[in-house]
C-alpha cells in the first residue's frame, strides 16, 4: 500500500504520528504516513528519528528511500530493534537539514530561470546545490547571473503548486526543463511548482520535491564555480551563505 505523503500537503510539517505497516528484509521501516521525503529528483532523503511507547530509546533514521509500490522506506542509522507492526510511533525530522534542502531546492528553480537552458542534471545538499546545463560556451558574465538570482530571491515571490493530468503535461512539453530526469508520471496527475503569480510568475515546472513558501526564505546565496562537464555541459553551483 502506498505511503501517505504528509510532506506533499505540508512541507513545514516536521513531526507526526503514524502506524508501522511493515519491516523490510533489509531492516527498513514502512509507516502508513510519512513526513520523511524519500530520495528522488536530486533531493536527498530526510533524516531524523522515531520514538514509540515501550521503545528503549529513539530510533535514529539516516535516510528515506522509495519502495517498489509507492512506499516510503525509513533506513535506520544502525541495526536496531524496530517498533512492531501495528505500533503507533512519532516521527520527527531533522528539521534544520530539511529546511536547508527546501531553500536550496527553491534557489535552483530560480537558477533555471536566470539560465534558461536545458537542465541535464542536478543535486541538492544542505549547504549548496548545483544544476548541470546544456551550455557549450561559458557564460559571459557570471556576476550578472548571481545578481539576477539574488534579485529574484529578494522579490519574495510566493511558491505554490498546481496539479495537471499526465496528458496535459505531454501536451505541454515546454514545462519540462530537465533532460535527464523525467517528471513523476503514471499516477494520472503531475504536480507543478509555481514561483510568482499572475503577471509576476517567473517559473512553472513539474517537481515532486519540497520548497519554501516564499523566495525570500532562501536567504543569502552566492554563485559557486562554473565547471565544464563534458563537451556541452557546464555545472553551476549555488551556495547558501547563512
pLDDT tens sequence across 61-120 = 999 999 988 999 999 999 888 999 999 999 999 999 999 999 999 999 999 999 999 999
| pLDDT greater than 80 at residue 171 | no
Judged against a pLDDT cut of 80, whether residue 3 lies above it is answered with yes
The predicted pLDDT at position 165 comes to 73
Buried b (16+ CB within 10 A) or exposed e, 33-49: bbbbbbeebbbbbbbbb
- Show the cell assigned to 53: 511507547
pLDDT at 185 over 70: no
Taking the model in full, what pTM does it have? 0.91
Handedness of CA 207, 211, 217, 223 (dihedral sign): negative
Task: Say whether 98-240 and 4-93 share the same fold.
Answer: no
The CATH architecture assigned to 98-240 reads 2-Layer Sandwich (3.30)
Residue of 167, 178, 174, 241 lying closest to 209 (CA atoms): 178
What pLDDT sits at residue 123? Answer: 96
Residue pLDDT, tens place only, 188-239? 677 889 999 999 999 988 888 999 999 999 999 999 989 999 889 999 999 9
Cα gap 48→70, rounded to integer Å: 21
Q: Could you give the CA distance from residue 148 to residue 171 in angstroms, rounded to a whole number?
A: 31
Rounded Cα distance between 194 and 203, Å, is: 6
Higher pLDDT, 29 or 231: 29
The set of cell numbers assigned to 2 is 502506498
Report the CATH number of the 4-93 domain: 2.40.30.130
Q: Would you place residue 176 in the very low, low, confident or very high pLDDT band (cuts 50, 70, 90)?
A: low
Kindly state the helix (H) or strand (E) to which residue 146 belongs, with its residue range. Answer: helix 142-154
The radius of gyration of the chain from alpha carbons, rounded to an integer in Å, stands at 19
Q: Please give the backbone phi and psi of residue 47, each rounded to the nearest 5 degrees, phi first.
A: -120, 170
% the chain with pLDDT above 90? 76
At residue 163, the pLDDT reads: 81
What grid cell was written down for 28? 527498513
Q: Percent of the chain beyond pLDDT 70?
A: 90
Residue 167 has pLDDT above 80, yes or no: no
pLDDT at 182 over 60: no
* Residue ranges covered by each domain of the chain: 4-93, 98-240
Cell numbers placing 110: 530560480
Q: Inform me whether the pLDDT recorded for 5 exceeds 60.
A: yes
Please count the CA atoms within 13 angstroms of the CA of 242 that sit on its side-chain side.
Answer: 4
More confident residue, 65 or 175: 65
Q: So what's the pLDDT on residue 179? A: 46
Calpha distance 24→64 (Å, rounded): 13
pLDDT reading at 177 higher than 80: no
Q: Identify the pLDDT of residue 190.
A: 79
Amino acid at each position: 500500500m502506498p505511503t501517505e505523503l504528509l510532506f506533499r500537503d505540508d512541507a513545514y510539517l516536521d513531526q507526526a504520528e503514524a502506524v508501522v505497516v511493515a519491516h523490510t528484509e533489509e531492516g527498513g521501516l514502512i509507516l502508513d504516513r510519512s513526513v520523511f521525503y524519500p530520495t528522488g529528483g536530486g533531493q536527498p532523503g530526510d533524516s531524523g528519528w522515531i520514538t514509540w511507547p515501550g521503545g528503549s530509546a529513539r530510533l535514529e533514521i539516516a535516510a528515506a528511500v522509495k519502495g517498489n509500490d509507492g512506499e516510503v522506506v525509513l533506513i535506520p542509522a544502525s541495526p536496531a530493534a524496530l517498533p512492531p507492526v501495528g505500533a503507533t510511533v512519532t516521527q520527527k525530522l531533522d528539521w534544520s537539514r530539511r529546511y536547508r534542502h527546501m531553500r536550496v531546492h527553491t534557489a535552483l528553480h530560480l537558477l533555471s530561470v536566470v539560465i534558461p537552458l536545458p537542465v541535464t542534471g542536478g543535486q541538492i545538499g544542505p549547504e549548496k546545490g548545483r544544476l548541470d546545463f546544456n551550455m557549450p560556451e561559458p557564460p559571459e558574465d557570471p556576476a550578472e547571473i548571481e545578481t539576477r538570482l539574488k534579485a529574484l530571491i529578494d522579490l519574495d515571490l510566493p511558491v505554490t503548486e498546481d496539479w495537471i493530468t499526465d496528458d496535459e503535461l505531454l501536451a505541454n512539453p515546454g514545462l519540462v526543463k530537465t533532460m535527464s530526469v523525467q517528471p513523476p508520471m503514471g499516477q494520472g496527475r503531475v504536480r507543478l511548482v509555481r514561483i510568482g503569480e499572475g503577471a509576476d510568475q517567473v517559473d512553472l515546472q513539474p517537481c515532486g520535491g519540497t520548497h519554501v513558501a516564499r523566495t525570500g526564505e532562501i536567504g543569502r546565496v552566492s554563485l559557486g564555480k562554473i565547471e565544464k562537464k563534458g563537451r556541452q555541459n557546464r555545472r553551476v553551483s549555488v551556495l547558501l551563505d547563512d
